[in-house]
């Protein structure tokens, strides 16, 4: 690779950017708040201006790849958890790019999973991963992402979907109470309603009868001086374990199940000591099957950038390096 490539991981709250040079390493990694910019193009401009201040020739960018927290089904992309929307073809033309690949952010994150080192993940519970088998991914953040990678010959293929919007199923009386309350407010209650930043707030509102921001709930629970917040976090972790187990069963993810997103790493000891793993395995006759599947917390700070870089490289290789088309994928 002799060209400069622009990489982005766009979530509902933050936009993470990097440049990839000839050596293949990521450089000039930066994180911008989505709310600070009217459009994705404005955020890209701000990032490139900051990179230029570091002495990088941003005019040399020929190809780009964007992982975004949204389905990518056609040329027009409208974000579900933010107000940005854009045309892939128009953005490519405006930027003068030979190639622009736009993919679902959790598909990009999933693509990084087979290559994570021991220091980029943390084991949660038991199990032994089976080589060459499907690997599952779930990640609560602004929303709830669900994805996987499947072995495909000598390569991996990322799957993208909207599994976070599958219907939530309660596993105990507290969760049934939460479901009944949220039915009144929303009708359909998805897993994402509970397993997200807003989900923490909704769980707390039902269980504790008060409204608190997710950050305050987490902070008070970690401080150990607010039993109601600790109960909220415990409920959140239990639900996450149950949903992660569902995903692992659906995929046959004997290669392992990974937890990404921005929320769980902030929970620290509360997650490590939670009911997550017990609920993950608690699937009746299939409990022994789940017990054999390892669960991992992703600790690498920017894994989706690694994944989207790999997807861009594969797309260029498949295209023979021409890259004259606009690429998009789920």
Name 64's bridge partners: 6, 100
| Cα 102 from Cα 77, distance rounded (Å) | 9
Residue 80 known to bind ligand: no
Question: Cα–Cα distances in Å, from 180 out to 30, 167, 188, 239?
Answer: 42, 13, 11, 15
| Cα 80 from Cα 85, distance rounded (Å) | 10
Residue 232 known to bind ligand: no
Identify the helix (H) or strand (E) that includes residue 328: strand 326-328
Crossing angle (nearest 10°) for helices 197-208 and 227-251 = 130
Residue 260 known to bind ligand: no
Dump the DSSP string for 244-291: HHHHHHHHT-TT-EEE-SSSHHHHTHHHHTSSHHHHHH--GGGHHHHH
Q: Under 8 Å CB-to-CB from 291, ≥6 apart: which residues?
A: 126, 127, 281
**SS3 label, residue 33:** strand
| Cα 256 from Cα 276, distance rounded (Å) | 15
Question: Using only C-alpha atoms, what is the Rg of the chain?
Answer: 20
Residue 275 known to bind ligand: no
Residue 315 known to bind ligand: no
Backbone angles phi, psi at 105, to 5 degrees: -65, -35
Token pair for residue 74?
């056609």
Residue 10 known to bind ligand: yes
Binding residues: 8-13
Q: Which residues are annotated as a binding site for ATP?
A: 8-13
């Amino acid at each position: 690779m002799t060209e400069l490539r622009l990489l982005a991981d766009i979530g509902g709250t933050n936009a993470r950017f990097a440049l990839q040079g000839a050596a293949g390493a990521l450089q000039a990694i930066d994180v911008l708040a989505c709310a600070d910019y009217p459009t994705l193009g404005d955020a890209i401009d701000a990032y490139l201006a900051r990179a230029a201040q570091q002495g990088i020739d941003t005019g040399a960018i020929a190809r780009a790849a964007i992982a975004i927290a949204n389905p990518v089904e056609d040329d027009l992309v409208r974000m579900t958890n933010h107000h940005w929307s854009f045309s892939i073809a128009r953005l490519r033309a405006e930027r003068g790019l030979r190639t622009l690949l736009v993919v679902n952010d959790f598909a990009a994150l999933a693509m990084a999973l087979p290559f994570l080192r021991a220091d980029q993940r943390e084991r949660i519970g038991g199990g032994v991963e089976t080589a060459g088998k499907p690997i599952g991914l779930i990640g609560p953040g602004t929303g709830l992402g669900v994805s996987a990678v499947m072995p495909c010959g000598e390569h991996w293929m990322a799957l993208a979907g909207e599994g976070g919007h599958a219907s939530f199923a309660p596993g105990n009386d507290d969760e049934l109470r939460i479901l009944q309350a949220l039915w009144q407010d929303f009708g359909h209650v998805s897993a994402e309603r509970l397993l997200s930043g807003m989900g923490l707030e909704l769980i707390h509102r039902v269980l504790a009868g008060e409204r608190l921001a997710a950050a305050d709930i987490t902070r008070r629970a970690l401080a150990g001086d607010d039993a109601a917040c600790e109960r909220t976090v415990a409920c959140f972790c239990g639900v996450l374990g149950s949903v992660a187990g569902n995903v692992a069963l659906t995929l046959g993810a004997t290669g392992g199940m990974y937890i990404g997103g921005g929320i769980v790493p902030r929970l620290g000891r509360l997650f490590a000591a939670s009911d997550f793993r017990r609920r993950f395995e608690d699937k009746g006759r299939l409990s022994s099957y789940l017990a054999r599947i390892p669960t991992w917390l992703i600790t690498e700070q920017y894994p989706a950038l690694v994944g989207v870089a790999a997807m861009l490289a594969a797309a260029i290789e498949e295209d023979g390096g021409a890259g004259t088309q606009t690429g998009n994928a789920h």
